[in-house]
Every structure is written in structure tokens, then in C-alpha cells.
Amino acid sequence: MNSSVDQSPKYLRAVIQKDRTGCGIASVAALAGVSYMEAKNAAKKLGITIDDPRLWSDTRAVRRLLKHFAIQTAPREKPFRSWRQLPALSLLAIKWHREKGKPYWHWVVFVRHGEKSAVLDSKKALRRHCRTDFGRIKPKWSIELKAPQAKPQAPGSD
């Protein structure tokens, strides 16, 4: 795995979340090749709002939004084993923790194209949203995805 990549592999780019709890919406926006606001508006039409904790504590809301954008998901989450074993396109649950017995996490996108791999992280405070610091990222599980071909982005447009 090449850890020196400085832009996302091939065609995806990170979409920055505009809301503190918008990581799921931003991840779907990146996968669908749309803006954060477009994905947020689509979510709202589906009854998914950023103040609903199920957006980052249950996979169903994000799965519904992915389906809206014709992005297919594997039926189940798979425990994270290694970066090499991840499918070429996956949603990852990182920063997984429990609050009052309920699981919570931060959504990110993992993408691999050839030898290049990256994690697209929507967190606004990050200096670089296309991450290759795999040793610092601790996924709990992944959902394999099959996305429609997004529009190509200019290299380095992070």
C-alpha cells in the first residue's frame, strides 16, 4: 500500500461537513459526487436530519441515503482486520465509542485505486481531508460499497 499519495485515488474527493454531526451526510456526498448541501437536502426529504443521533449510531439512515444516490452497500458490516483486507471502496466507522451503553462513531470513506489508498475524512478541523496516516486511524468496522462512477476531479483539489 502506498502511503505517499497526496490526493484521493482516481475520482473521489472529500466533502467537508458543514454541521458538527454531518459526517455521514458528507461521506455520502463524497461517494455520490454531490455537494454537502445536496446530500443534506436529499437526507431531509428522506426524513434524516443531522440532529438525529441515529445518523452516527446506527447504519440504517446512512444506508438509506446511499440507496437514494444509487450506491449499493453490502448487507452487513465487517469487523476491521487490516487495511489490505478492505474492499476498494468502503465506509468506515472510526472513533468508535460508547455513551450510556450506545455505540457512536465518525463516518469516513476508504478508497483504493491500484496501489494508492486514502481515507476521505470530512472533519472540518483537519488540515488535510485526504488522509494516508493509516496508523493513526482506528476503524472498528467497514461497509463495502459499489458506487456509480463519479465525475473526475482535478488532482490535488482537496
Q: Please work out, in degrees rounded to the nearest 5, the angle formed at the alpha carbon of residue 57 by the alpha carbons of 56 and 62.
A: 55
**Domain that includes residue 119, residue range:** 23-146
Nearest of 138, 68, 71, 144 to residue 105 by alpha carbon: 138
The total domain count for the chain is: 1
- 48 confidence band (pLDDT: 50, 70, 90): very high
8 domain residue, yes or no: no
Considering the entire predicted model, what is its pTM?
Answer: 0.85
6 domain residue, yes or no: no
For residues 39 and 65, the answer to whether their CB atoms sit within 8 Å is yes
Residue 87 reports pLDDT greater than 80: yes
Least confident range of 17-31, 36-50, 101-115, 140-154: 140-154
CA atoms within 13 A on the CB side of 68: 22
Give residue 52's pLDDT. Answer: 85
For residues 43 and 29, the answer to whether their CB atoms sit within 8 Å is no
- 153 confidence band (pLDDT: 50, 70, 90): very low
> Average pLDDT over the chain, rounded to whole?
86
141 domain residue, yes or no: yes
Give residue 154's pLDDT. Answer: 38
- 11 confidence band (pLDDT: 50, 70, 90): low
Give residue 6's pLDDT. Answer: 33
Give residue 55's pLDDT. Answer: 83
Q: Is 21 helix (H, G, I), strand (E, B) or coil?
A: coil
| 56-78: average pLDDT | 94
Count CB neighbours of 71 within 10 A. Answer: 18
118 domain residue, yes or no: yes
What distance in Å separates the CA atoms of residue 18 and residue 153, rounded to the nearest whole number?
Answer: 21
67 domain residue, yes or no: yes
- 53 confidence band (pLDDT: 50, 70, 90): confident
**Using CA of residue 37, residue 44, residue 32, residue 23, what is the dihedral sign?**
positive
129 domain residue, yes or no: yes
Residue 32 reports pLDDT greater than 90: yes
45 domain residue, yes or no: yes
18 domain residue, yes or no: no
Question: Which of 77-86, 96-105, 147-156 is most confident?
Answer: 77-86
Domain CATH number, residue 94: 3.90.70.10
